[in-house]
Each structure stands twice: as structure tokens, then as C-alpha cells.
Amino acid sequence: MAFDIYDFTSLTQSIHVALSENFSPTLTMIIEMAIVGICFLTLFSILGLVLVYTERKVCAFFQQRLGPMRVGFLGTAQTLADGLKLLLKEPLVTLNADKFLFNLAPFVIIIASYFAIAAIPFAKGLHAIDLDIGIFYITAVSSIGVVGILLAGWSSNNKYSLIGAIRSGAQVVSYELSVGLSLLTIIVLTGSLSMSDIVESQANGWWIFKGHIPAWIAFIVFLIASTAETNRGPFDLAEAESELTAGFHTEYSGLKFSFFFLAEFVNMFIVAAIGATVFFGGWMPLHIGSFSAFNQVMDYIPPVIWFLGKTSVIIFIIMWFRWTFPRLRIDQLLTLEWKYLLPINLVNILFMAFIALMDWHF
């Protein structure tokens, strides 16, 4: 197929061979890990700048205003200016805070994001690690982030921060169930937890179309639950400005505050990337049946463009949620999960298992 010309496997293998010929195996591994780390640091920085700017523009669009316009062309340098401001701010620590845990919490949250993004395939052969339990690994390591939130809320010695952290803990633990079960609904069809296998299984059509109605139900549940798990509006009870000032990161400033801010947007990118990979074929181009001419044209679009395009659409929908719906109360939030999403998920996964057993999917 034409999209094989965009296979990055040969590139990564050639880099590995070149390093192996000049360095010892241990030093080669260290250099490769450093290269991957620099790539992810760069990616995180770019994501932070782009997504914050996009959020402001999307918010402005829904509120019928312009958003950032003055710093740079159409306000594109506004987020860069804000980032520099945060870097230059003095990092303050409250008098009675647990200083070690207070300083540790932002790093726990950002490290969890690094762990999760490592297993996501951006194109064929373009991922840091291809695990045969990729989905399980991502759902496991992404749960580490809530530990950082709980540490931040407790160590700040601030009642608003503590309330926000407790809310976030209850919220993340609850909605993880629906995220996991909605992904499991598609894994029933793929028969594999590997992210690359899930993408390859959609070479002749994306699961959102091949999986019939249960796939659509699973995607909608995934979208709602993942929005809640990332503490995005209308599920941002952990950092409700009208009640808790800024929630679990009320006492943070400067670089440490920027870590919390960056982690929120990176986590939004990660859940959108998982949704794009599992439901919409990841980097796989759109193919329609036996329309060979159309399929060949689609094959020549670079897989990274496909991946980023699908991810961007899901990110826009998540942002749409935030600027459309009012914030839920904590009881409404937990009721939505335990009384509605979880039962729907359980019935849906049984329905999908029956479809897979009868081989009724396309």
C-alpha cells in the first residue's frame, strides 16, 4: 500500500544501527533514551503553546469575540509571552506546607503524562515503545497523575486545595472505569492490546464504522469519561474557580504552576490521541470499500497528518464541551458515572462481544 512509503521503521532502525556501531550497548541505550526525551520535551512545549492558544480562540469563537490579537500575528505569541512570564515568576511555598511533597507533586503529574504518551503511535514505526499491552499500560500509568493531585492538595496545607484534591481523586477513580470499558469494547474486536495492532486492524476501515452502533456508543462514553478524567469543563470540580479559587494548585506559582497547566493540556492531547487511535484508525488513512482511486489518493497523505488531524477534531469537541455546558455539581458528576455511564458500558460491551462472536462486524 502507498502509505508504506511513510514507514519510519527503517529510519529508527538506521539510527539504532549507527549508534550501535560507534558506542557500547549501554551507551547506545542512554543516547537513544536522551533523543526520545528531547523529542518529547519539544513536543510538550509545542503542545502547550498551541493548545493554550487554540483554547483561547475556541473560547472566543463560542463567546462571539476575538480572543488574543495583540501579541504577535493574530495573538500567536501571547502564549509564548505567558510562558516566559511563568518562568520568571518567583516560586513561593506557604509557611506550613510539606515542602518535599509540595515540590514533588508537579513532577509526578508531568511524569505520568510522559509515561502515557510514550506508547502512542504517531505513524508507522514512530513511537517510543511498542508494547503488546499498550492500552493496558496507558490506562495504568495515566492513573499515576491523580497521586500528584492528591499530594499537591494535601501538602499545600490549604483547605481549598485539599477539597479540590479529594474531589479529583473521587472523579478520576470513578471515570477510569468507563474509559477502560469503552476501550475494552473495541479490544473485543481487535483481539489485541497493542496500539500498533489496533491501528493495523483498521487498514480496511475504522472501527467507528465497522463496529456498528456499539462502537459509536463506546466512543461517546469514552469522550464524556475522558473529559471528566482530565478535569476539563464541565467536569472541572477539582479546580472550580467560583468555589475553590484554583483547587489543588491554588498555592502554586511560577514553573510548578506551569507544570499543572501543561499537564492538563497534554493529558487532553493524550486522551484525544487514544480515541483517534482506537476508534478512528490512528495514522491509518480513510479507505472506502473498493474505491481504489479514492483509496490511493488517501494513501499519499502522510500518516502523521492523518493522526494529528483526527486528534485535533477530538480536541476541538472536548473544548466545545467546556465552553457550552455549565459546571456540574459533585453529586451530579458521580451520579452520571455510576448510574448511567457504567451500566451503559457494561451492556454495550456484552452487545459488542455478541457481535464479535457472531462475526457480524464488517
Answer whether residue 32 is part of any domain: no
Going 214 to 220 to 223 to 227, the CA torsion angle's sign is negative
Determine what percent of the chain is predicted with pLDDT higher than 70: 95
Residue 360: Cβ-neighbour burial (10 angstroms; 0-12, 13-18, 19+): exposed
Whether 115 maps to a domain, the answer reads yes
Q: What is the pLDDT confidence band of residue 158, given thresholds at 50, 70 and 90? A: confident
Domain span at residue 339? 79-358
Name the more confident of 235 and 220: 220
Q: From the CB of residue 295, how many other CB atoms can be counted at a distance below 10 Å?
A: 17
Please indicate, yes or no, if residue 106 is contained in any of the structural domains.
yes
Residue 241's pLDDT is 62
- The per-residue pLDDT for 242 is 60
Q: What is the pTM of this model?
A: 0.89
Residue 98 domain flag: yes
Question: Once rounded to an integer, what is the mean pLDDT over residues 47-62?
Answer: 91
Quick check: is 63 in a domain? no
Taking the C-alpha atoms of residue 174 and residue 67, their distance in angstroms, rounded to an integer, is: 35
Residue 1 domain-assigned (yes or no): no
Q: What is the dihedral of CA 59, 63, 64, 66, to 10 degrees?
A: -40
Residue where the block lists cell 500575528: 73
In a domain, 211, yes or no: yes
41 within domain boundaries: no
Instruction: Report residue 57's pLDDT band, with 50, 70 and 90 as the boundaries.
Output: very high
Average pLDDT, integer, range 245-261: 80
Task: Place 4 in a pLDDT band, splitting at 50, 70 and 90.
Answer: low
The more confident residue out of 360 and 8 is 8
Average pLDDT over residues 16-38: 88
Structurally, how many domains does the chain consist of? 1
- Cell numbers placing 252: 502554586
